[in-house]
């Protein structure tokens, strides 16, 4: 079974035996100068010229040597850390109190708005009732005026002789039309 290599590897004419040895973990010889720079020859297609080896190195530090030159204990904010432990509980209680106060203020604002809206609704409903009462009174006054004029004109003797619907014609002369008149057109029907 042959291994499949990426295109950038197979594009160059590299010696396949060197490539197989390199891929299987063989030692890779790099062309490096004395200062650590890799020398790449553009006219050569050898494995050493096409690949770079990156080595991982784990560096262990000596704690004693570091402590000789640097202070390793953190002392800059130590006094704040000690006082912060005591005040942390207080700050949480203060936060809870602040949140509670904010909710209480919001609730008071909403209650005040609700009371204002209730007052406005009550005033508007009173205006609506007043308008309906005025409309009914105007309609009845108009009806009584027309019936009185019809009685003076000799079309009837009392208000019961006339229709309750506009134009309040005499019941004896009322024609049989299919039009149904509302006796009180300005009022809503009860629901």
pLDDT at 157: 81
Based on the fold, state whether residues 118 and 179 are members of the same structural domain. Answer: yes
Q: What is the pLDDT of residue 112?
A: 92
Range of the domain at 176: 105-191
**189 and 109 share a domain?**
yes
The pLDDT of residue 139 is 81
- Shared domain for 111 and 37, answered yes or no, is no
> For 121-173, how does the pLDDT look when each residue is reduced to its tens digit (9 = 90+)?
888 888 888 888 878 888 888 888 888 888 888 887 888 887 777 777 787 76
Residue 138 lies in a domain: yes
27-73 tens-digit pLDDT: 777 778 888 787 877 777 777 777 777 778 888 888 888 888 888 88
Task: Give the CA distances from residue 91 to residues 81, 87, 95, 130, 132, in Å, rounded to whole numbers and listed in that order.
Answer: 14, 6, 6, 58, 61
In tens, the pLDDT along 104-121 reads 999 999 999 999 998 888
32: helix, strand or coil: strand
The Cα 26–Cα 45 span in angstroms is: 18
Residue 177 has pLDDT above 60, yes or no: no
Any domain includes 64:
no
CB 31 within 8 A of CB 38: yes
| Stronger pLDDT, 14 or 32, i.e. the higher one | 32
Sequence length of the chain is 191
Distance CA 180, CA 174 (A): 12
């Amino acid at each position: 079974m042959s291994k499949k290599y990426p295109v950038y590897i197979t594009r160059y004419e590299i010696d396949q035996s060197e490539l197989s040895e390199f891929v299987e973990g063989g030692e890779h010889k790099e062309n490096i100068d004395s200062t650590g720079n890799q020398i790449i020859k553009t006219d050569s297609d050898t494995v050493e010229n096409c690949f770079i080896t990156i080595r991982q190195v784990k560096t262990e530090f000596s704690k004693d040597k570091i402590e000789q030159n640097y202070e390793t204990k953190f002392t800059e904010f130590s006094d704040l850390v000690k006082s912060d432990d005591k005040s942390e509980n207080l700050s949480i209680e203060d936060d809870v109190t602040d949140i509670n106060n904010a909710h209480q203020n919001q609730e008071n604002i909403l209650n005040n708005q609700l009371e204002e809206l209730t007052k406005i609704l009550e005033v508007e409903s009173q205006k609506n009732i007043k308008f309906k009462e005025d409309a009914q009174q105007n309609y009845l006054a108009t009806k009584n005026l027309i019936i009185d004029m019809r009685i003076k004109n000799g079309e009837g003797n009392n208000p019961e002789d006339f229709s309750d619907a506009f134009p309040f014609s005499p019941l004896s002369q009322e024609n049989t039309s299919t039009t149904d008149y509302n006796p009180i057109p300005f009022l809503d029907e009860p629901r």
